Amino acid sequence: MTLFLDVSSELSYDSLVQNHAPPLHPKPRLRNIALTVHELEADEFYWVLMEAVDDVAADDALPYIPLETANSPYSSYSNALVAGVAAMRRLFGPEGTRI
């Protein structure tokens, strides 16, 4: 018996593993984190980090719970937003955090 293998095909070990075998260690999913900015008083802006709650049934909304908030106000929406992104990176790193 003779077996011929077409080496010019686009198949590779990686494509075979990806297409025909379950992943050995599936990546955990990313946490659903949201950043918002609230103006509580005129020209006083606060960032708020929130996380989605999966165990709450809601038809038309995705409920979030607060994780962390700014301790003091910022003078503009954009300053609060940038500070919120910095807080998110400090808490979760540039790659995000997985559950």
In the chain, where the domains are located: 28-92
pLDDT at site 6: 44
The SS3 call for residue 67 is: strand
pLDDT at site 24: 72
Q: DSSP code of 26?
A: P
Q: What is the mean pLDDT of each run of 10 residues along the chain (99 residues)?
A: 44 54 72 94 97 76 92 98 95 79
**CA 66/CA 4 separation, integer angstroms:** 61
pLDDT at site 35: 96
